[in-house]
A and B are shown apart, each in its own frame.
Chain A
Amino acid sequence: MEKLNLLRLLLLGLAVVLVGLRPSTAFQSDELLVEDEEFGLEGSAADIPYARPSAPTPIRRRSSDPDSDSKIQFTLEHAFGDSDFSPAGTFSARLKTWNHGGQTLTKLRFSRNALTEAEKEPFQKLLQGDDFYRIRLPSDVLSPPGRDYIASSVKARCLPRDGLDEHFVIHMEGVKLLAVNYGAPGACPYPRQLKLPSKWAFNSHTVLKSSEQAQRTPIFTEEITVGENGEVGVAPPPERSFWAKYWMYLIPLGLIVMNAITQAMNMPEEQAGAQGQPGGGAAQRAPSSAVRRR
């Protein structure tokens, strides 16, 4: 009993370690790593001073010279429930112009404004009412907001852990932002429990994603050439043993042979019995008849 408990504890510990590891492992697999600094990951709480009272920076850009990289900024806005949107942080990125004329965003950095006292109250209300915390970004970073804002929202109760953990996935196409997916970095199981954060600071993770290329359809040349080139073609099935191939015929054959032998064995015996003891004992005859009837 004691041992079992110990084992269970050990397993539990293992599971906790595994669960703790999981987001980071999945996190890596998600990203398209064109450059090493494709994504900026900030907010491991230690290196970002959340108390930084940075006022919402107006969007400014210096992209007059298309040949060089230029810096670009765009604002994250948030809303509590049905309230109006207000600035909540700034994304800054490098706009890289390629030789063929395409433009891409790299080196995305994010600085999140801390929640002000005036914002904490509506946020607490959201937590109590299990309501939506909404964010939005311009769909075009060069001429915000572009055609429309790209918006996302999450039930506020998903965010609080120690602090407020948030996770952005920004899907982009060139310099256009397609969609932003916002939510908790981990799970948010359904009966959402009310839990107030111990620290009113955001812990942000950001991933920039662009489209994957679909795998090309494999094009095969004719079967014969494949066979000539190597062993890629259809290999002949390995020769099976005689028994494996013909067991189904052999078993009945064996049965027949066995049957014939027993009959043949019975025959002389019976004849001998009939000759030796014409009066016959019932004790001898009964088994023989049983054999014959089978």
Chain B
Amino acid sequence: MAARILAVFLLLFLSAAPLGSSLYEDQVGLMDWHQKYIGKVKHAVFHTQRSGRKRVVVSTEENVIASLDLRHGDIFWRRVLGANDVVDAIDVALGKFVITLSSDGSTIRAWNLPDGLMVWETFIRGSKSSKSLLLSGTNSKVDKDNTILAFGEGCLVAVSSADGEVLWKKDFADASFEVQQIIQSPGRDVVYVLGFVGSSSFDAYQINGKNGEVMHHDTASFAGGFSGNTLLVSDDVLVALDAAMSHLITISFQGGGLSINEKPISNLVGDFAGPVEILALKLGRMFALKANKLITFISISNDGKLDVLEKINSAAAISDALSVSDGRHAVGLVQQVDNKVEFTVKLGNDWNTNLLKETINMDHQRGFVRKVFINNYIRTDRSHGFRALVVMEDHSLLLVQQGEIVWGREDGLASILDVTTSELPVEKDGVSVSKVEQNLFEWLKGHILKLKGTLMLASPEDMVVIQGMRLKSSEKSKMTRDHNGFRKLLIVLTRGGKLFALHTGDGRIIWSRLLESLRKSEACEHPTGLRIYTWQVPHHHAMDENPSVLVVGRCQQNLDAPGILSFVDAYTGSEIKSVGPVHSVLQVIPLPFTDSTEQRLHLLIDAKQRVHLYPRSREALSIFQQERSNIYWYSVEADKSIIRGYAIKRTCVHEDAGDYCFEPRDLWSVVFPGKSEKIVSTVTQKLNEVVHTQAKVMAEQELMYKYISKNLLFVATASPKASHEIGSAIPDESFLVVYLIDTITGRILQRMTHQGCQAPVHAVFSENWVVYHYFNLRAHRYEMSVIEIYDQSRADNKDVLKLVVGKHNLTSPTSSYSRPEVVAKSQSYFFTHSVKAITVTLTAKGITSKQLLIGTISDQVLALDKRYLDPRRSLNPSQAEKEEGVIPLTDSLPIIPQSYVTHALKVEGLRGIVTVPAKLESTTLVFSYGVDIFFTRLAPSRTYDSLTEDFSYALLLITIVALIAAIFVTWVWSERKELQEKWR
């Protein structure tokens, strides 16, 4: 009996013991997933020297250098360079190094080809910015220590490819000399540097490849002027366009002096209008001209005559020339024909014969072909085969070989612009029983395995099977809504104009669609997506209706460019409706009102601060008119350091859709002293945030009322010098001022100066507090500060007697026009890392305590409890404060390795973290994106409201059954014993 009591106590203690908030090793991948991407490919270099492992090295617009497996498209290795370290060129040298030229031609790096380790790095320090060019002389022999010629910042540099040593350097410091091309003639050690001086003069330098001395200098002038777009055709002929874009100029520069010829373009392509472009082919005595929506291939004969070879539709991509055996060149051409793609390889010398012609079926959701890179291989029958790496309009990367798509990568997901979520459909009745019966044996086997696992009887092989089963659990990847709200659709807008719907369970793509309205068209030359909003969430009784999202885009980069609106079905991805190009879109304000079809009212603010109401229906207008007087908004003019507030004045006077357009009236303005303060960051609360309690109970039974207003704006300004990068200002001349501004009245509630601190500022605003991160120049450390604001006007309400008598103002509506009596509490702490993004966890009801999610410089997401950033922390908290959970004051915030949400993974190039509340109060869903994407589920106060997912119901059932059986057995025994005693 004593043993039983002890066991009961032991059990009680065990259950009360705190569980670690971090993951166990076998829980990795249970509720999180991670996907690796590289971005839109800019350059590709094939490496096929050792046939064992076929690889291709690519550089992308996300500044990634990666080595991909040609068979499967997997990443062998990948290096992500910084955001302003743009890769200009890549090449392979010595057959073992990948050479990259980056940062506007100022950095040359060599990476080891098999594993991607950096071998050497060389910087070019020139005097001016210029075009950057890389020439690694791949055609010279491998065993020779060949030199790499790089041109950047106005300098020509020869670098040894073995160790990166600069062999010689020639500075073309003359400001007006713009270098266009560098050519190394094969066999001879002569380098030609060609460029323009001014707009009408052409210069050619011959340079000794051994020591960098100028051997010869030629110059020639051309009256018509050059337009700056040049390309090399052969070793001795250059082609350029004149300034008026009407003539083609050929310059032959070898064989004594320069000779310039010109020919009208209309002679070659017929009448044309619009821009003309020369496409680089690097092909023997041949080039392509893009004009009139046609690509014209033109060859140059030895005496400078131009002949038209072929004209093709411009919806095609042309690869660079590839040298095939014995000096012949091949060029790849990919054309779009209806839903198919034609891949042709032609010989440069003999244009009319096709080396290869294949037709490939292509999903038209990938759009047009943007780029193609070809590579040849020897087929089993010893003939030449070709494969092509194709970059599509939606930034996806495909490998095409033998008329098939061998693999494809959805690299559009590396450039996510915005994320929203959508609920999945409700589960319909009538789940077939047969499906369960079919798997009954499997189910039993699974449970027996699990039981073995829990009883620690399983062998290592069994453990592997169990882990696999847990990861693949069909429950989490179902296409229906679940009770806890963990299963959702993540709808993601990418820079390529494609929408993806990802399942939160396993990250698979449910649908993807290239939005027709975000594609280039006559009316809209350079469309870009901006934001994505939830448009319509039908009531869950309306089973046949699907939710929809609103995608907002813009035609050009500038702010006053016309906007595009697109409405997309969230379940199928089909575009329901698109509007545009319409008025410009600066801001989108989702209103808390919906019409009878559950469409949310949205206000779109244009560049003139006019308001446009969507949806454009009478009903929406009537709803809006009722609330019209309560609509306020603000604009931040960061370049002028002015923040203005507006309200609605009247309907637009001169606008087509007059009824749905409203003109603004200026209400307030805050003018920061432009010479001393510059706006560096503005942050507001999230619209969907729920605050559970307005009061905070302090130690000693005191009550503080949080000042909760959705209309607060956090603004950080810095002295102009302190808004640049760290190190450019001294502490005395840099300061940071933070403001809390009410956006209805423009009232400054709090204003605070941090001396000796500087930008970048990252901030997060939630409930009644704001946390921001900046650099302290005096302490040489990053800091995080917190401001909490409390409402004093309600402070009198803690008198119980008053509450009983009914003299309190708790139920009266608050108004921004009342003079607020707020108290702000603030505290600063040191923080080790610099920060890329910062956000806070959101839960359904706001009861669960909050965690800050910090995207660190190492591309990981750190969860930091908000309690560490409490302004009430003191050195010696009283007993009451300790009980309340106030942590003793420390000067820096702790970084606990176990609290990395991303555990061992990295979200390369982290740009944003999005939190979405699940239905289960304790849990929040976290999606972080950058070049990679990562999703997980977090429970900041642990899952206090549910059992863990791996809870074994079977074990519980078995235990209950066993206990009942034991009760019966003991009952029978005791009966029998009693009977025996009676007979005694």
Contact = CB atoms under 8 A, between A and B. Distances in A.
A214 B828 contact: yes
B671 to A, nearest CB: 4
Interface string A165-178: 00101010110111
Interface string A152-172: 111100100000000101010
A252 B9 contact: yes
B807 A248 contact: no
A188 interface: yes
22 contacts: A26-B792, A82-B649, A147-B674, A150-B669, A151-B669, A153-B745, A154-B745, A171-B751, A176-B673, A178-B671, A179-B670, A181-B747, A183-B745, A183-B817, A184-B818, A186-B819, A189-B815, A211-B752, A220-B890, A232-B875, A248-B9, A256-B2
A3 interface: no
Contacts of B677: 173
Interface string B723-748: 00000000000000110000001111
7 pairs of A and B residues whose beta carbons are closest in the complex = A176-B673, A190-B813, A187-B818, A139-B671, A188-B817, A217-B828, A179-B670
B748 A179 contact: yes
A284 interface: no
B647 to A, nearest CB: 7
Interface stretch (B424-432, B660-668, B762-770): B660-668
Most buried by A among B754, B817, B830, B890: B817
Contacts of B14: none
Interface residues of A, number: 64
Nearest to B829: A217
B672 interface: yes
Interface stretch (A8-16, A40-48, A195-203): A8-16
A271 interface: no
Contact of A151 (B666, B776, B805, B889): B666
Contact of A147 (B640, B817, B981): B640
Interface in A223-266: 232, 234, 248, 252, 255-256, 259
A134 interface: yes
Interface string B312-339: 0000000000000000000000000000
B753 interface: yes
A217 B817 contact: no
Nearest to B5: A252
B759 to A, nearest CB: 15
Contacts of B815: 187-190
A224 B875 CA distance: 15
A132 B645 CA distance: 13
Given A152-B668, A184-B817, A212-B751, A219 B891 contact: yes
Interface in A77-101: 82
Nearest to B784: A217
B745 A148 contact: no
Interface in A269-294: 285, 289, 293
Nearest to A223: B890
B623 interface: no
Nearest to B813: A190
A130 B981 contact: no
A144 interface: no
A139 B641 CA distance: 12
A181 B746 contact: yes
A293 B1 CA distance: 11
B619 interface: no
A146 interface: yes
B858 interface: no
A218 B819 contact: no
Contacts of B802: 11, 15
B958 to A, nearest CB: 27
A215 B873 CA distance: 14
A143 to B, nearest CB: 13
Interface string B614-650: 0000000000000001000000000010100001010
Interface string B747-790: 11001111100000000000000000000100100010100000
A155 to B, nearest CB: 6
Given A132-B647, A211-B753, 10 more contacts: A82-B649, A147-B640, A148-B669, A179-B748, A184-B818, A188-B817, A188-B818, A189-B818, A248-B9, A256-B5
Nearest to B824: A212
B571 to A, nearest CB: 41
Interface of B: 1-2, 5-6, 9, 13, 629, 640, 642, 647, 649, 665-674, 676-677, 737-738, 745-748, 751-755, 776, 779, 783, 785, 792-793, 796, 801-802, 805, 807, 812-815, 817-819, 821, 826-830, 875-876, 888-891, 974, 978, 981
Nearest to A129: B629
A154 B671 CA distance: 18
B578 to A, nearest CB: 36
Given A179-B671, A252-B2, A255-B2, A217 B783 contact: yes
A213 interface: yes
A194 to B, nearest CB: 15
B816 to A, nearest CB: 9
Contacts of B801: 11
A50 interface: no
Contacts of A255: 2, 5
Contacts of B642: 147-148
Contact of A150 (B649, B671, B814, B876): B671
Contacts of A150: 669-671
A178 B745 contact: no
A132 B665 CA distance: 10
A34 to B, nearest CB: 14
Contacts of A55: none
Contacts of B828: 214-217
A285 B738 CA distance: 85
A246 to B, nearest CB: 13
A151 B755 CA distance: 28
Contact of B753 (A151, A181, A214): A214
Contacts of B974: 293
Contact of A155 (B751, B776, B817, B827): B817
A261 to B, nearest CB: 13
Interface string A12-45: 1001001000110010000000000000000000
Of B647, B668, B821, the most chain A CB neighbours within 10 A belong to B668
B15 to A, nearest CB: 14
A54 to B, nearest CB: 27
Nearest to A210: B751
A148 B671 contact: yes
B628 to A, nearest CB: 12
B2 A259 contact: yes
A171 B826 CA distance: 20
Interface centre among B5, B667, B752, B819 (most CB of A within 10 A): B819
Contact of B813 (A152, A167, A189): A189
Contacts of B796: 18, 22
Contacts of B673: 139, 173-174, 176, 178
Nearest to A253: B2
A289 B981 CA distance: 10
Contact of A171 (B9, B13, B748, B817): B748
Given A11-B805, A151-B667, A211-B737, A220 B891 contact: yes
Given A151-B669, A181-B747, A186 B891 contact: no
A147 B888 CA distance: 47
B671 A146 contact: yes
A56 interface: no
Contacts of A132: 647, 665, 667
Contact of A189 (B649, B672, B674, B812): B812
A259 B753 CA distance: 71
Contacts of B826: 214-215
A228 B671 CA distance: 51
Nearest to B750: A212
A275 to B, nearest CB: 15
Contact of A289 (B793, B876, B978): B978
